[in-house]
Amino acid sequence: MNKAKLNFLIDFLAFLSFFVTAITGLVIFFFIPPGIRQGRYIEFLGVQKQVWSQIHNYAGLLMILFVLIHIVLHWKWIKSMTKDLFKKR
């Protein structure tokens, strides 16, 4: 796989994990109140809060992983731009 395709794949996976993290976070925040009611777990769209939270956590961890890989793949560019930004003129 060439570098451009690898970059696209990593960036797409980072976006996808961000999207899942954002959606699950919004669902947890706006649609699932905290706590347990009458001994039953709270559900949204037939899915328990615990499952929403697990999906949210794992998607967040994947997002961190993909962003770190993205930074590693672009490290040469980051160094070059940082040197250029702080270069005395």
33 domain residue, yes or no = yes
30 domain residue, yes or no = yes
Give 12-48 pLDDT, tens digit per residue.
Answer: 999 999 999 999 999 988 888 776 666 567 777 877 7
89 domain residue, yes or no = no
67 domain residue, yes or no = yes
Q: For the whole model, what pTM was predicted?
A: 0.80
Contact 21, 63 (CB under 8 A): yes
68 domain residue, yes or no = yes
**pLDDT value of residue 58:** 97
61 domain residue, yes or no = yes
3: which residues sit within 8 A by CB, 6+ positions away? Answer: 73
Domain that holds residue 70: 3-83
48: which residues sit within 8 A by CB, 6+ positions away? Answer: 41, 42
Backbone angles phi, psi at 34, to 5 degrees: -70, 155
How many domains, the chain?
Answer: 1
| Average pLDDT of span 77-86 | 88
Q: How far apart, in whole angstroms, are the C-alpha atoms of residue 20 and residue 63?
A: 9
88 domain residue, yes or no = no
